[in-house]
Amino acid sequence: MNRESYRQRTALDWTVGHAAEAQAEPETFVPATVPGAVQLDWAKAQGWPDYWLGQEPRRYGWMEDEYWTYRAPLDPPAVGEGQRLVLVIGGVDYEFDVLLNGEALCSQEGMFRPVELDLTGRARQGDELRIRVHPAPKREGAKLGRWQADSCCKPAVSYGWDWHPRLVPLGIWQEAYWEVRPDPHLADLEVRYELSDDLDRAELEIHWALNRRERAVLAWELHDPDGQGVLSGEQTLDGRSGSIAASLHAPRLWWPNEQGPQDLYTLHARLLDAKGQALDAASHRVGFRRVRLVMNEGAWKRSAQMPPVTRAFAPMTLEINGRAIFAKGTNWVNPEIFPGTISDKTYQPLLQLAREAHFNLLRCWGGAIVNKESFFDLCDEMGLMVWQEFPLSCNSYPDDAHYLGILDAESRSIIRRGRRHASVAIWCGGNELFNAWSGMTDQSLPLRLLNRNCYDLDPRTPFLATSPLYGVGHGDYRFRRGDDGKEVYEIFGQSRWIAYTEFGCPGPSPADYIRTFIPAEELWPPREGTSWEAHHAFKAWAPADSWLFLSTLEHYFGPSDDLETLCARGQWLQCEGYRFIYEEARRQKMHCSMALNWCYNEPWPTAANNSLVNWPAKARPAYEAVKDACRLVLASAAVTKFSWRPGESFATQLWMLNDAPTAQPGGTVRAVLELAGQRREVGQWRFDALPANTNAAGPEVRFELPADAADEAFTLHLEVSGRPECNSAYRLRMRA
Amino acid sequence: MNRESYRQRTALDWTVGHAAEAQAEPETFVPATVPGAVQLDWAKAQGWPDYWLGQEPRRYGWMEDEYWTYRAPLDPPAVGEGQRLVLVIGGVDYEFDVLLNGEALCSQEGMFRPVELDLTGRARQGDELRIRVHPAPKREGAKLGRWQADSCCKPAVSYGWDWHPRLVPLGIWQEAYWEVRPDPHLADLEVRYELSDDLDRAELEIHWALNRRERAVLAWELHDPDGQGVLSGEQTLDGRSGSIAASLHAPRLWWPNEQGPQDLYTLHARLLDAKGQALDAASHRVGFRRVRLVMNEGAWKRSAQMPPVTRAFAPMTLEINGRAIFAKGTNWVNPEIFPGTISDKTYQPLLQLAREAHFNLLRCWGGAIVNKESFFDLCDEMGLMVWQEFPLSCNSYPDDAHYLGILDAESRSIIRRGRRHASVAIWCGGNELFNAWSGMTDQSLPLRLLNRNCYDLDPRTPFLATSPLYGVGHGDYRFRRGDDGKEVYEIFGQSRWIAYTEFGCPGPSPADYIRTFIPAEELWPPREGTSWEAHHAFKAWAPADSWLFLSTLEHYFGPSDDLETLCARGQWLQCEGYRFIYEEARRQKMHCSMALNWCYNEPWPTAANNSLVNWPAKARPAYEAVKDACRLVLASAAVTKFSWRPGESFATQLWMLNDAPTAQPGGTVRAVLELAGQRREVGQWRFDALPANTNAAGPEVRFELPADAADEAFTLHLEVSGRPECNSAYRLRMRA
């Protein structure tokens, strides 16, 4: 009884062309892929090299300011008695008009609202449909860069970022097709619920809507995660929309990755006519979970002094189904420059890697798009919670009526879509809006509007105005700071933020990967002004040698002789830096309750970046280090610095970290020094059983490094008796 | 053409009685004053002493838990053709049922929503109307005190506060009457507006509503502050409600006290029938102003570092009509324990004193009631901006559906009423909600709901979730802290908060005032457990001797021999403490942009308190000191301590403070020491002209105090050449 058997989809045949004026006819039309982007269609027709090679993005600048017109000659499917012909346009980036034989059917600003047009009896063979896409939005007078996007709902990242070239996509980025639908049909079906305080009961509301007022019957059945029917009913529908209440006892709960199963129920519904004949069908998955953001440990105490100077920190501990958990994860960015090319096949390997890295939270940053449906479906299935930001980032979005109107409509569409997913755990206004470079405040109407819309449409999901909030840290983004020489060990070892919602540790990509997109003649040595710079190795961010940080590499290792050596050294720092930060954040649990590095993935190949996974889905060495640091249970050493000298005294505190929802047996940790192929035990700690979700701090281990050690690496191993899966290793620098 | 000529009001004749159960009949009924309180009616019938004497409030405890029934035999006014008979009940505190001949007409929880019942043809002579008031709301299981009020919209203060006895009012607290109205009539009339960015145009929307759908005409005229008509129109009304657009060029702006005129326009409207005959009339004042909360000076710079650890301070500078102003004011509390006794005559002298004290902002604190209409009318006229909190204070108000439902309805009523007033400059969720003793957070649904409602109904007025926010200080509330011995001079001299939205400096009330409510036999010496304690001289707050602080008085002066001496000494400290804090906050302008002491007034006579004005409207000596410190322009000395020894070296920095919107001429400040009747010039400063709204920091003045000075006071005078109205004086302690 699936929906497809009641509805037939038919593709359209698109071409696309451009002109400088809205009313001007494009000189030529070239074949268009939908969903896609006008840039890709045009580049393909011209036979250009791939946009991600070398400095190719430079070719595309002029396209931003053109009007692009998609054209499709119509040959609409036949529509019988009791059927409707609907044109569905899932999303167009960014402002557009839909025209039939030159007459405007609708105009819209905003890429996150689908358009559905009932053209029954109106569209005929030989007609022509056009979708005219306006030039990329740019605020008049804004300087080149993200500021141009500060008055629209188009993600700012494509206007240029420190890991994204200037390349502003335009075009039909979601599916667009004819759909022949039964009449009447289900225009909407959604299960909303509220859990009882003890989580033992879910009060359901099955919301339905028809395309028109009609007396029909909705037959519905709720299946549990094993496919067994657990509730069902038949309801005569009166009116055009309404809801049906039902009560589910002892619902099986949805849990984040490694905290429990990702149980998902499914509602199946059929629309029946007066004779009991099925007209239409729909289904809807639902995961029952309660998400709260609660105060961090110690945060109230800190604010308990009288008189009450200032306020307490923001609540940043995720409590899922009554259990406060440590959120381990990352900042997810757009996985492609052109969102039209994204499909479930883009998401699947990236999310699978995230799940395997023991992550449970992805912050979907406000500079990028809100992802397609399959992203949320996969996150539901994989237990990856989503912190979903609206498309605001690092800008001062205005209080004006036009912008607020678009944001209102776009955000309502985004919330209505996201609230259907168990994985969507946090709504957030956008990125770094309460910092000087953005200049927004608690009074900014766009943020008050978003809070309002989230409250109206999804009140039980937490809403953050932005990140960072009071008590939360973004950064640092360097293994070693140039100004004060502090390393990640010191920076994060001394930080006491309640959540690290961004931090970075940059590194070059693997050498063989870099060879695939930097022309051979530019490969060595890396230089500014070349493809290295275009791919973010230089001048990406305030420190001029970001993200390659040659100065840092030379500080630790001296000059590198070749690309392979350079990359291996940089990746070594990235691995140990990230390993330390994730473990340190976990050692600060639950004063600290979140560690999300910047960033997970990337939209095109970078020569150097903070990412863990190269485009499109290649794990970097740092990915493996982070995966190690995020295991549910592991031995951990609070390393204090990276580079050591022969004969130096080494001291580190031992820890057992336990994020598992179950207790762990006691045991023994052996600390073993591996140097020049020799292994030596340097300490031991017998630790007691660990309660569920609780760390144990152990003793400090102290030993002397050999005075005669040569210039090389050494490794501190932590070996847990009988539990090799909990072993850890820290590879550090010996410099004679 | 005033409203009264179309509508006739008739009073009802009330009695009131009580019973333990809702359904039980009261044994006796006593005459009731409406508006009023059941406690006052009962006390009067019993011949009890005034509730504000001695320890009288103790008598009233049992009344909280009774059902109180108001009864009125009906003799409704005659209603002719084309008229409606409406029962208007302005507000009942707190939960109640309205019954006609024993049949429930309506039930409501919440005191801030009026009830209007159209009883045309239904209420007859000989009928009986009852209003049954339920027991005071108390959360089951809550301990005695404000916590009992943490799940309702009844102001928490009456459950006991450090300046308010436990005395929980109940009853009809707003006007209740019959009104014979024309049919159709104007059910609502409101002018909303939006100002252009340059403030040169107001786009008006005149919202109207009828009691029923009827084709009629609205004739309206807008009068300027001088009573001259500036816009008018006639509109045929279609439907039951709607709005009429109009545009006003160059509106005269409303300004806060001393920043400009309080210009108020008036809309006069008449409802006409088809023949042009007037049916009804209404008028509505409107003050055109733009209010914003913008970032304080330096606050962005402070948050400009990369990486962006945490967030910037909250924006706390009031910008009125484009001008950032320093907000000088106070925390307004309920001026009576029983709000039913409050009228414009209660407000008028208190607000007049506030205006004369150069105040421009009153924080109406969330522990107390939202004031009656005449309060806001007077604030509009006097230029006193209102920071209006919703009834939440120092509690953790829950996320549950019942409470949210009441809060939703009550807050909408409050916002709809407040947004009509130019004076309402800030909406705020409530008091100290983001501190440990309250335990609410940014995620608390009541605060998200209030943001939503304010955004929906009054988006252009700033909304604060609570006070204090990040960067804002509440307290201290002591002249000298017991724990570290720091005085206000050091505490506030070293503080760098962006706004001081509460701070206190306690003192005893004048001796002759104290004699009016503390029985003679308890008067001397002040002791715990007596009426002194009942009137907040002891155990009011955490330090056990608050608010009298005998230990502080003895620290500076040794024991006092009599009541007059004690009170004079305490008032001296209060005067100088408040003088210093207000001036210091102003010296920190615009890093700091607000100074609001805790508190302005009081609901009954206190023996010791932080207030400036004793109940009902008697200025304390501290009022005069604050009035001095808040003058638009004055000379100011940054005094460093209160008590000095003979021969000690005295140093103080001189300032000229200018909050005026106009530049001030330069001049000379002479510093003069007055001691033992002798005056000696100790310093001089020639200052340049002061730009509008800008202070000038002068030199430090240093001199030796005479080595032979005796135990007494000395005064440092600052005398401004040719401008005696800018002179200041600091009376300090000399202790040999």
Nearest to A443 among B307, B308, B462 (CB): B462
pLDDT at A494: 94
Distance CA B708, CA B3 (A): 73
Question: Mean pLDDT throughout B447-452?
Answer: 98
B439–A300: do the CB atoms touch at under 8 Å?
yes
Give residue B625's Cα distance to chain centre.
Answer: 20
Distance CA B209, CA B466 (A): 34
- Residues in chain B, total: 736
B474–A437: do the CB atoms touch at under 8 Å?
no
Is the predicted pLDDT of residue B1 greater than 70, yes or no? Answer: no
Q: What angle do CA B426, B429, B431 make, to 5 degrees?
A: 100
CA contacts within 13 A on the Cβ side of A580: 28
Nearest to A582 by CA among A565, A597, A600: A597
Structure-token pair, residue B93: 């505190």
B471–A442: do the CB atoms touch at under 8 Å?
no
Distance CA B145, CA B156 (A): 8
Is the predicted pLDDT of residue B234 greater than 90, yes or no? Answer: yes
Distance CA B294, CA B373 (A): 29
Q: Could you say which residues of chain A have pLDDT below 70?
A: 1, 306-309
Say which amino acid occupies A22.
Answer: A
Cα of B547 to nearest chain A Cα, Å: 15
Distance CA B660, CA B677 (A): 35
Structure-token pair, residue A447: 């943020």
Distance CA B482, CA B492 (A): 16
What is the ipTM metric for this complex?
0.96
Nearest to B443 among A292, A437, A456 (CB): A292
Burial of residue B520, with CB atoms counted within 10 A of its CB: 0-12 exposed, 13-18 middle, 19 or more buried: exposed
Distance CA A638, CA A653 (A): 5
Structure-token pair, residue B32: 């009731």
pLDDT at A1: 52
List Cα–Cα distances, A214 to A232, A245, A281, A472, B537, in angstroms: 22, 20, 16, 52, 72
Q: Strand pairing of A83-89 and A115-118?
A: antiparallel
Helix axes A563-587, A550-557, angle to 10 degrees: 90
Other CB atoms within a 10 A radius of the CB of residue A242 amount to: 15
The residues, any chain, with a CB within 8 Å of residue B231's CB and separated by 6 or more, are B204, B221, B222, B246, B248
A465 contacts in chain B (CB < 8 Å): 442
Give residue-wise pLDDT tens across range B613-657: 999 999 999 999 999 999 999 999 999 999 999 999 999 999 999
* A354 beta partners: none
Say which amino acid occupies A282.
Answer: A
Residue B549 backbone class (left: φ over 0; alpha: ψ -120 to 50; beta: rest): left
Helix axes A621-629, A563-587, angle to 10 degrees: 20
Q: Which long-range contacts (CB under 8 A, 24 or more apart) does A409-414 make?
A: A409/A110, A409/A113, A410/A110, A410/A111, A410/A112, A410/A113, A410/A153, A411/A449, A411/A450, A411/A453, A412/A453, A412/A457, A413/A112, A413/A113, A413/A114, A414/A112, A414/A370, A414/A388, A414/A390
Nearest chain A residue (CA) to B504: A307
H or E element, residue A379: helix A373-382
B542 contacts in chain A (CB < 8 Å): 306
Q: Are A425 and A287 in contact (CB under 8 A)?
A: no
Q: How far apart are the first and last CA of chain A?
A: 72
Give residue-wise pLDDT tens across range A561-582: 999 999 999 999 999 999 999 9
B473–A434: do the CB atoms touch at under 8 Å?
no
Other CB atoms within a 10 A radius of the CB of residue A454 amount to: 27
Give residue-wise pLDDT tens across range B100-133: 999 999 999 999 999 999 999 999 999 999 999 9
Predicted structure pTM score: 0.97
Interface test with B, best of A290, A440, A470, A581 (most B CBs within 10 A): A470
pLDDT tier for residue B711 given thresholds of 50, 70 and 90: confident
Write down the number of H helices and E strands in chain B. Answer: 12, 42
H or E element, residue B181: strand B176-182
Give percent of chain B with pLDDT exceeding 70. 99
Give residue A594's Cα distance to chain centre.
Answer: 15
Is the predicted pLDDT of residue B380 greater than 70, yes or no? Answer: yes
Give residue-wise pLDDT tens across range B575-600: 999 999 999 999 999 999 999 999 99
Distance CA B338, CA A180 (A): 68
B301–A436: do the CB atoms touch at under 8 Å?
yes
- Residues in chain A, total: 736
A308–B439: do the CB atoms touch at under 8 Å?
no
A394 contacts in chain B (CB < 8 Å): none
A307–B474: do the CB atoms touch at under 8 Å?
yes
Structure-token pair, residue B714: 């000395």
Nearest to B273 by CA among B216, B338, B331, B352: B216
Helix axes A373-382, A344-356, angle to 10 degrees: 30
Is the predicted pLDDT of residue B363 greater than 70, yes or no? Answer: yes
Nearest to B448 among A292, A463, A502 (CB): A463
Nearest to A452 among B455, B469, B474 (CB): B455
The residues, any chain, with a CB within 8 Å of residue A525's CB and separated by 6 or more, are none
Give residue-wise pLDDT tens across range B311-332: 999 999 999 999 999 999 999 9
Nearest to B359 by CA among B327, B397, B391: B327
Is the predicted pLDDT of residue B60 greater than 80, yes or no? Answer: yes
Cα of B366 to nearest chain A Cα, Å: 16
A192 contacts in chain B (CB < 8 Å): none
pLDDT at B308: 61
The residues, any chain, with a CB within 8 Å of residue A608's CB and separated by 6 or more, are A506, A507, A508, A509, A535, A536, A537, A540, A546, A547, A548, A549, A570
Distance CA A559, CA A553 (A): 8
